[in-house]
Structure 1
Amino acid sequence: MKKKISKICAVLLIIALGSMETGWRLFNMMICCKRGARKKERKKWFELSHIRENHPQNGYAEEYNESKEWCFAQKMQDCYIRSTDGLKLHGFYLPAENAKRFVILSHGYRGSRFGTMSFMAKYLHEHQCNLLFMEQRCCGDSEGKYITFGAMEQWDVQQWAIYVSERNKEKLPVYLYGQSMGASAVLMASGHTLPPEVKGLIADCGFHSMEGQMQDMAANWFHLPHIPLLLMEMDWFCSLLAGFHMKDADTTEAMKKNTRPVLFFHGEKDTYVYPHNSFQNYMLCKAPKKLVIVPGARHLCSAYADPALYQNTMMQFFEKYD
């Protein structure tokens, strides 16, 4: 009898350890910062079809590369802030002639300041917008060990808004423009105190919550329809090592509190962050709002798929709330 109990305990222990190992691997893959050689290893392992298919380089490589090269060719000013948890964060400032407004650009998950933001950055600069390119924590020249899916990035957005406001001597309107995770961070930041110059938010393909995004990825990428234990373990590692809970990366409360107008964009064919996320954020939002679903567009491809619709809608938004 004792041997049987011992065997059962051993099996349960192996299962528990295996489950914890899976939770750790998910945390390490999704949350931990990967730079240099380790980043190349992660990219090779994690280069799934959903990522390749949704990237603007798939179908819009010429426009993507041209606008990215344009950004690198500009003479930008280095900017630095200190995050609320002590990290030194980096950004670039690009002034425009006869500027009418400031736009703070918040890039997506493991992105860069001159990646998918470049296409619209070029257009905005040509239309009299001063630009502040954020480099999210753990990306580019910004410090950080962990990507928190908006839990901490929302406070970074707030700090950058304050930074711009303090240097905005002419009191020009300020807009927060985010893509993907950067869009979610912008939406979450709207639940906090922002400078009065911030007139509106633009959220392109933002997710509703980290937990929901993890569930969507598990179900549709890895075909794991129900993973509560795995998410619980991941949340434990997030809390123990990275200092946040998954519930902290959620737009719900911010959308209920926010009073600033919000312009939502989402690609109809997005399989990276599914369109239902923007529908959910739109329904929760109590402020003036508009939702644009771009037919046929994939993740972060709306501006490429229908430039006229995207650009005209954004300019109308500026003109209405400037």
Structure 2
Amino acid sequence: MKWIVFGLVIVVIFIVAASFYAANFFLSVALFRNNKWYDKTGHKMMNPDNFNKGTSKYDLTEEQQNQQGEFFWQQEVAKDHWLEIGREKLYSRLIVSHPDSKKWVICVHGYRSYGKRDMAFVASKFSDQQYNILVPDLRAHGKSTGNVIGMGWLDRLDLLKWIQEVITIEPLAEIVLFGGSMGASTVMMTSGERLPKNVKGLVVDCGYSSVYSEFGVMLSSAFKLPAFPILTIANHLAKRKVGYSLKEASSISQLAQNKLPTLFIHGTGDKFVPHQMLYENMEATKGVKESLIVEQAPHLSSFIYEPDHYFDTVFEFIHRYC
């Protein structure tokens, strides 16, 4: 009997030690900018659709959109705009194509990406509707400094500063916040803060409901590991390692304070952020809400799969409610 108890204790110790190692490794991969394993292997595991490009009509559409975005990004009126917050220096692209317009959009990119890659084409479509544009690189992304990835939770505070930057430029600005992937969750998490009246509405494309839930999906789908007890341990470690817990970084809890009109978008083919999270986010918000579901579209690809329907829906929603 003693040997059985001893054996069980050894097994429990091994499981706990392995779980602590896995939790620490996962946080290092997921929440720190400079991680060689993520760059070499992790990215392919966590978002495989980014590496399955071919010559389908969708790939050709994406290439055309990227070319349009590149041309828009490089136009003469586009300027680099910097913001210093504490020790960090944050970058954005400021494009005031319509100086007499009061309409503004802030476009926020996704996880481990940067503004130009995710949002240049989207910004060009807003410019066609007479919007002036601000596209930030979130901290620890793109040209912005920093090493800790905020997953939207830390970034919500930076987005508040970017909103104030726009208001400084144009005090009567009517601002729409547009985000994709982690950028969508950044916008949703910002929605629970006290926003100036200049902010009129939100458009969020494939955002997760909370960092805790999203990391649970990643552990299961990409790493083939159980969420418990690894995620429970990671949640406690994160507070010490990056300054926030995975559970507090919640779009749902912040949307519960939101009264702004919000359009939720998601593709059913999303392997990175399950499209079911859209319904959780929609249920949480207190403002006017509508949704756009794009069948079979992978992560942050709905405007590639159905571009006309996508942008018609976005601007009809904005014109109706914002």
Give TM-score, length-normalised by structure 1. Answer: 0.89
Distance 1:12 1:185, change over 3 A: same
Whether the aligned pair in 2 keeps the contact of 1:56 and 1:64 (CA below 8 Å) is no
- Alpha-carbon deviation of 1:56? 9.7
Alignment correspondent of 2:234: 234
Equivalent residues in 2 for 1:88-237, closer than 5 Å: 88-97=89-98, 98-169=100-171, 171-224=172-225, 226-237=226-237
Secondary structure of the 1:140 match is coil
> Which residue number in structure 2 is paired with residue 18 of structure 1?
18
Contact 1:151 1:246 in 2 (8 A): no
- Alpha-carbon distance, 1:154 to partner: 1.3
Contact 1:70–1:122 under 8 Å retained in 2: no
In structure 2, distance between residues paired with 1:3 and 1:290: 61
Question: CA–CA distance in 2 between the matches of 1:55 and 1:306?
Answer: 21
Measure the CA separation in 2 of the matches of 1:4 and 1:282: 51
Change (3 A) 1:257 1:4: closer
Q: Output the CA distance in 2 between the equivalents of 1:10 and 1:56.
A: 43
1:48 and 2:44 are equivalent in the alignment: yes
Give the aligned residue type for 2:239: S
**What is the percentage of aligned positions where both structures have the same residue?**
28
Between the aligned partners of 1:63 and 1:274, the Cα distance in structure 2 is 27
Amino acid corresponding to residue 199 of structure 1 in structure 2: K
* TM-aligned CA deviation for residue 69 of structure 1: 2.4
Corresponding residue for residue 271 of structure 2: 271
Cα distance in 2 between the residues matched to 1:55 and 1:303: 18
Q: Distance in 2 between matches of 1:194 and 1:18?
A: 43
Q: Which residue of 2 aligns with 1:249?
A: 249
Measure, in 1, the Cα distance between the counterparts of 2:107 and 2:173: 16
How far apart in 2 are the matches of 1:129 and 1:109? 25
Count residues in correspondence.
315
Residues 268-308 of structure 1: per-residue CA shift (max 9 Å, x gap): 21111111111111111110111110122111111111111
Q: CA offsets per residue over residues 88-139 of structure 1, 9 Å max, x none?
A: 2221101122435110011110111111212211211222111101111101
Could you say if the C-alpha distance between residues 13 and 7 of structure 1 is closer, same or farther in structure 2, counting changes exceeding 3 Å? Answer: same
Structure 1: 5+ residue stretches without partners: none
Change (3 A) 1:50 1:32: closer
Give the letter for the 2:163 counterpart.
Answer: A
Kindly state the Cα deviation for residue 262 of structure 1 after the two structures are TM-superposed: 0.3
State the Cα distance separating 1:4 from its structure 2 match: 9.9
Q: Which residue does the alignment assign to 1:29?
A: 29
CA RMSD of superposed structures (Å): 2.5
The 1-side partners of 2:7 and 2:265 are apart by 55
Question: Aligned with 1:132: secondary structure?
Answer: strand
Q: Partners in 2 of 1:79 and 1:167 — Cα distance?
A: 12
Look up the match of 1:280: 280
Q: Work out the CA distance in 1 between the residues paired with 2:130 and 2:270.
A: 30
Structure 1 residue 320, shift from structure 2 partner: 1.9
How far did residue 259 of structure 1 move? 1.1
Amino acid at match of 2:312: N
Instruction: Supply the AA of the counterpart residue of 1:137.
Output: R
Question: Is there any run of 5+ residues in structure 2 with no aligned partner, and where?
Answer: none
- The alpha carbon displacement at 1:246 in A equals 0.8
Superposed displacement of residue 218, structure 1: 2.1
Deviation at 1:253, TM superposition (A): 2.3
Q: Give the Cα–Cα distance (whole angstroms) in 2 for the partners of residues 316 and 237 of structure 1.
A: 44
